[in-house]
Amino acid sequence: MEIAVGERSWQPSIWGRTRDGELIVPEKRLETELDILSGEGNCVFVTPRARAALERAGFREVTYRPTCFVPYVVGLDIYGYPEEAVPNMDVIAETGRKADEPIRYWEIDSPLTLPPVSPSMDLADRSGTPLEPECGRSIVRREGFFVPVELRYRAADLSAFGPFDLARTCEAFTRDTRFDRTKCSLIASRRFYEACVSAGLRAEWSPVRIDP
């Protein structure tokens, strides 16, 4: 299953990092009814409740990193009316998270990288030129009017790769010209998905097809 793909999961305000590399998570417009969320560049972050459930399940090769949460603050304008107090993101990026600040979300990742997707997928570069599956490059996936486009893998490739709980694709499915592994999609095993469902974790998923 592909993790956190959907209109509710994707948070457009999540795009920056602190000097220490922690994901900056502004509270404003944040979807608080889901336990697993995503932001710019396919970063995926989870609630402490979700982390606890994942750790209880004993998943392999799943890493956790704290995020820098930025609370939504309302102040008063010069006339005494409420107005949004916009935080200075440059200052937050430089100063980072306070040592005593509770961690509201954890970024999850995996050092594992899957083999290329199945040749049955319709892939192209940003100009629309068809491409074959290839690791280490940015690729656009297409499937008519269907969104999101489901990923496909060959059964033999996954069998040779071996069991896993969480891994990134070897392709970055973006229109960027420069490849960046952090923009590769996170793929979860059926065991990972079922553990999330069993724990009542709220998330959005997209199935991954297995070609014979």
pLDDT computed for residue 190 by the predictor: 94
Where helices occur in the chain by DSSP H, the ranges are 48-57, 89-95, 155-161, 190-198
pLDDT in tens, 86-108: 667 777 788 888 888 889 999 99
Report phi then psi at 63, rounded to 5.
-110, 155
Closest by Cα among 55, 49, 164, 63 to 115: 164
Q: How confident is the model at residue 6 (pLDDT cuts 50, 70, 90)?
A: confident
What tens digit of pLDDT does each residue of 15-64 get? 788 988 899 888 877 888 899 999 877 899 999 999 999 999 999 889 99
C-alpha to C-alpha distance for 212 and 205, rounded to whole angstroms: 22
Question: Given strand 130-131, what is the order of strands in its sheet?
Answer: 130-131, 122-124, 140-142
pTM exceeds 0.75 for this model: yes
Task: Report the C-alpha gap between 35 and 145 in whole angstroms.
Answer: 29
Name the residue with higher pLDDT: 98 or 123. 123
- Residue 146: what pLDDT? 66
Which of 140, 124, 137 has its CA nearest to residue 178? 137
Q: What share of the chain is helix, strand, coil (3-state, %, to 5)?
A: 20, 30, 55
